[in-house]
């Protein structure tokens, strides 16, 4: 009985949170961050799935060689860049990619912390 109530409460919470995004125009901003996977400008054309690539029958983890290629420290967004299967050719590509990611993150934060959005979500979503 307790397990079933917990499942129902979890479903209610998740559906309430989804409803919060559904009723507000800010949903598009949240989705635009996740759509980077589909339309990433620097996506690799090789046989890759996120950070993994498959040269033969086995898989390897891709890395971006910042110091070797551009004499710079790794990007603060390295994990995101690798997970997007980024293939960066120049230092300018790295900077542009960082800018695009930071822009998406900042937009999401601004939308999420907007008073109207926060109030609507707090009224519909109930914590577990």
* Of 45 and 70, the one with more pLDDT: 70
The CA-CA-CA angle for residues 33, 40, 118, to 5°, reads: 5
Q: Taking Cα atoms as reference points, which of 75, 7, 79, 84 lies closest to residue 43?
A: 84
Q: Taking Cα atoms as reference points, which of 83, 77, 72, 76 lies closest to residue 34?
A: 83
Domain ranges of the chain: 22-124
State the pLDDT at residue 68: 96
The CA-CA-CA angle for residues 104, 106, 112, to 5°, reads: 100
Q: Taking Cα atoms as reference points, which of 38, 16, 2 lies closest to residue 125?
A: 16
pTM score above 0.75: no
Q: What is the pLDDT of residues 82-124, one digit of tens each?
A: 999 999 999 999 999 999 999 988 887 887 777 555 555 655 4
């Amino acid at each position: 009985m307790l397990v079933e109530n917990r499942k129902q409460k979890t479903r209610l919470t998740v559906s309430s949170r989804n409803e919060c995004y559904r009723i507000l125009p800010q949903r598009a901003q949240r989705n635009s961050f996740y759509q980077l996977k589909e339309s990433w400008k620097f996506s690799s054309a090789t046989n890759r799935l996120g950070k993994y690539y498959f040269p033969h029958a086995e898989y390897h983890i891709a890395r971006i060689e910042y110091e070797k290629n551009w004499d710079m420290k790794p990007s603060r967004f390295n994990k995101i860049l690798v997970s997007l299967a980024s293939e960066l050719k120049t230092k300018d590509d790295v900077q542009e990619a960082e800018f695009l990611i930071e822009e998406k993150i900042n937009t999401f934060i601004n939308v999420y912390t907007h008073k109207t959005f926060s109030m609507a979500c707090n009224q519909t979503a109930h914590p577990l």
